[in-house]
Structure formats: structure tokens, C-alpha cells
Amino acid sequence: MKKPLGMCPFWRRKGLNFIFLTMTLLAVLIFAGTMALSAANSYSQKTKLDLQMQNASVSDILRTIESNSEFIFIYDASVINANAMRSVSVKGEQLENVLEQFFK
């Protein structure tokens, strides 16, 4: 009695299922990685801030930036002088430029 030609042995069918599952998992991981990379560059580079503060402490200015954006600053008061008085005046600037000007 001969086996039908369309039937694969069990070990071959198991191997094909493993390859199919591996390819599916790889496709999902590539898609997720691509979406994560595209999302990483969008918000921080497009955020514009309008900020005008004269003779305010560093901690007050950082709190104001936190309230005007979705960013949160975590800092150690012993590393930076949080009570130092600074003045910042920017309009429509990106956060990176604001922080560079602020910490000069």
C-alpha cells in the first residue's frame, strides 16, 4: 500500500509549522520595531515652547516647562543649584534649544 503523494510525514509538517510561526513572529517584531522608531522622533522634535520668565529659580522654570509640555524632569538638587536665579525668554523654540540656552 502506497502513501498518497499529498501527505507529508509528521516530522515535515511539524517543521513547516515551526518555520511559519518563526516567520510570523519575525514579521510582528519588525513591524513593532519600525513603529517604535518612527514614534521616537516625533514628539520631542516638534514640541515648541513659549516661555518668558525673569529672575526665576531653576526649579520654577523646570516646573513651568513640565506644566506646558508632557516632559518630566528628574534632577538632583545637589548636582545643580536649583535656587539659582535665571532668566529665559523664548518664543516658538524647540525644547532642546530652550534647555541649551537655559543651562549656559
Q: What is the pLDDT of residue 47?
A: 78
Is residue 9 scored above 80 in pLDDT?
A: no
In the chain, where the domains are located: 11-40, 48-102
Of 50, 32, 41, nearest to 90 by C-alpha is: 50
Q: State pTM to two decimals.
A: 0.55
Average pLDDT of the segment spanning 96-104: 81
Residue 95's contacts (CB-CB under 8 Å, 6 or more residues apart) are 44, 47, 49, 65, 69, 71
User: What pLDDT band is residue 27 in, cutting at 50, 70 and 90?
Assistant: very high
- Once rounded to an integer, what is the mean pLDDT over residues 14-20? 77
| pLDDT, tens only, 39-97 | 655 566 677 888 888 998 888 888 998 898 888 888 887 788 878 888 888 888 888 88
